[in-house]
Copies of this chain bind each other. A is one copy, B any other.
Amino acid sequence: MSGKSGRRIASIKEIAKLANCSIATVSNALNNKGRISEEVSKKIHRICRKHGYTPNSAGRMLRRSQSETIGLLYYPSCAALFRNAYYAQIMEAIEMSLEAASYDVLFSGSKFHEWKHTPPRFVRQNKVDGVILLGDFPKKAVMAAETFGLPLILIDNHHPGTRVDSITTNGYQAIKDTVQHLVEQGHERLAFLAYAGDGYNASQRQKGFEDAVQDHGLSAKDNQAYRDFVDDEEALALVQRLLASRRPPTAVIAVNDTLAVYLLTKLQNLGLEVPKDLGLAGFDNDPFSRTTHPPITTVRVDTKELGQSGTEILLKRIADPDRAQVNVQVAAELIARESTTGLEVPQVLESVV
């Protein structure tokens, strides 16, 4: 019944009374500060445990001017990221790391245009000690966030011009691996597809694609990257145009699995066979990519590492604001599946990073 005896204790005063000492001593004991006799300290801890007492955060926040809370900001919106299993995994890792560090996580659904000119409410109210930026924030959003005057971390995104810590996946190398795999399967004409609006990650992947094309001595003309569509429908139309061209691609690399799954489903409805008529690869190892028929070749991103290390970087920044800027890259692993192999049993290739 520990922690349940009677009503919850409201304040340090009551503990002090029960322990027959001053509130200063209770505070010191609980924070392991100052010189306190073993005996008194033990008694205080025992009483607190018995009554399930934890210092009121408002009082502590006010005095210490820190909240032990981290704010989470999304781009383009919380809604968009919640729908995505990929980000959900990152958020899960963030949550676990912060929980372990005794920090709470505060959500904000506020969108960039809302804090373009004035920081989000939880920042103005001093409710958070630092902010995690999750999603494909454009540079000016990151610059706006810098004016918060709070420690920041960009998770799964990066902007070379800013002074913000970041952690990203090495998409450059991963797409190189994807191209190599496709070449090994006999492909010579590839297309890389990314939305026009996509930021850092898409650019890295595109660069990996282009460099790999060059490395393998493939024709630049027959192996192009396309960034001139804004949504899935336009992407589909683009692929259809490409397939109808004189020298159509034999495989398509989509910037992520959401797009890859969409293309697969739609192309199949149009009578196309994957991988026979067209190879298809994605990125993220979204759960979806496994359940399609055939399963889709993809790249496994270490979402746990992104969330966990990202959180640690932020906490270090909070502890030491003058610390040197940190930008981490995490390796990713190609997962070859039937959408490019045509084999019944998926063949897993280790990345060469």
- Which residues of A are at the interface with B, using a C-beta cutoff of 8 A? 1-4, 7-8, 52-59, 61-62, 65, 67, 69, 78-79, 82-83, 85, 88-89, 91-92, 95-96, 98-99, 102, 104-110, 117-119, 121-122, 124-127, 147, 149, 261, 265, 268, 287-288, 291-293
Contacts and interface: CB of A to CB of B under 8 A. Distances in A.
Contacts of A127: 57, 69, 104
B92 A78 contact: yes
A99 B108 contact: yes
Nearest first, the 5 closest Cβ-Cβ pairs linking A and B are A3-B118, A54-B124, A58-B61, A57-B125, A58-B62
A3 B108 CA distance: 19
A109 B99 contact: yes
A97 to B, nearest CB: 9
A201 to B, nearest CB: 21
28 contacts: A3-B118, A3-B119, A4-B147, A52-B118, A55-B125, A56-B62, A57-B126, A58-B58, A58-B62, A58-B65, A58-B126, A61-B61, A78-B95, A79-B96, A82-B89, A82-B95, A83-B89, A83-B92, A83-B287, A99-B108, A99-B110, A104-B121, A104-B122, A105-B106, A107-B107, A265-B291, A288-B288, A291-B291
Given A54-B121, A58-B62, A58-B65, 17 more contacts: A2-B117, A4-B147, A52-B124, A57-B127, A58-B58, A58-B126, A78-B92, A82-B88, A82-B89, A82-B95, A96-B109, A99-B108, A99-B110, A102-B121, A104-B127, A261-B291, A292-B293
Contacts of A108: 99, 104
A103 to B, nearest CB: 10
Given A121-B104, A124-B54, A91 B82 contact: yes
Contacts of A291: 261, 265, 288, 291-292
Contacts of A104: 106-108, 121-122, 127
A107 B106 CA distance: 6
Given A59-B62, A92-B79, A292-B291, A53 B107 contact: no
Nearest to A95: B109
Contacts of A69: 106, 127
A122 B99 CA distance: 11
Given A95-B107, A149-B7, A126 B56 contact: yes
A107 B109 contact: no
A23 to B, nearest CB: 15
A92 B99 contact: no
Given A92-B83, A291-B261, A54 B125 contact: yes
